[in-house]
Amino acid sequence: MSAPIRIILRALAVIAIMVAPTAHAQQSVETQVTKRILVAGATGQSGKLIVTALLEKGFTVRAMSRSAERAASLGDGVEPAEADVTDPSSLSSAMIGVDAVLSAIGGRRPIGSNGFEAVDWEGNRALIDAAKAAGVRRFILMSGGSAGRDGFLYTLPIAPYPWKAKAESHLRESGLDYTIVAPGGLRDEPAGRYGVRLTTRPNYLVGQINRADVAEVMVASLMDGSTIGKTFTLINDDTLVPDAWRTELATFPAD
């Protein structure tokens, strides 16, 4: 091979190395920005934080609420969708053009139309079924750390835990690409103030966690395909380094 040809080939190789990372980064950003994410329970305390975290990452957010007016108030870049998980027939239109569903719904009282059974179980079941019917493959469920635990307090029908456990089981059996994020008791402090301890359900330790940290884990799970088929229980732990949990997602055991 002549010297001029070797020089040209080396120059082409250098150009390829310089251009490839830029092209890859541009493709990643473009793909991310074009994704439309449906957030169910978007106007709730946790849902609002999830919407904010998604917008900060450049996603298009479809905010689902029983009040389109309240959903629209979440800010620019939000598509309001009026639907009610207790009315399954209202969900199909909210699923059109959606790439993933993040559910942050939860009952507000033990019984009734807005109770734990009606919302945490039947509402999430309706969401999961609607996503599957619409061809939406990715579903991330916000559950509860104590869902499915043994013991009198955790199996009472007036408690949320048995109903959250039923929703988890339905999602696992749905065939969707799921992730379950199951926090401890929720409190309102900024994300990143404390570390986050991720554990499997059998190793769950009862504790509290900031809603904003839960929102960060939900969105990080959406963006990391290695979290598919996994259930994370999580609490804050001030002995851990904030954000260290991000490196644990890929190696965390699957269900």
Q: Which residues pair with 61 in a beta bridge?
A: 37, 78
What pLDDT is attached to residue 154? 83
What pLDDT is attached to residue 31? 38
CA dihedral 196, 200, 205, 211 (to 10 degrees): 40
Euclidean distance between CA atoms 247 and 202, whole angstroms = 21
Euclidean distance between CA atoms 180 and 176, whole angstroms = 12
Domain ranges of the chain: 34-248
Please list the ranges in the chain whose pLDDT falls under 50.
1, 3-33
What pLDDT is attached to residue 204? 94
Q: For the domain bounded by 34-248, which CATH number is listed?
A: 3.40.50.720
pLDDT in tens, 39-77: 999 999 999 999 999 999 999 999 999 998 999 999 888
Q: How does DSSP assign 46-77, residue by residue? A: HHHHHHHHHHHTT-EEEEEES-HHHHHTT-TT
What pLDDT is attached to residue 236? 98
Euclidean distance between CA atoms 102 and 127, whole angstroms = 10
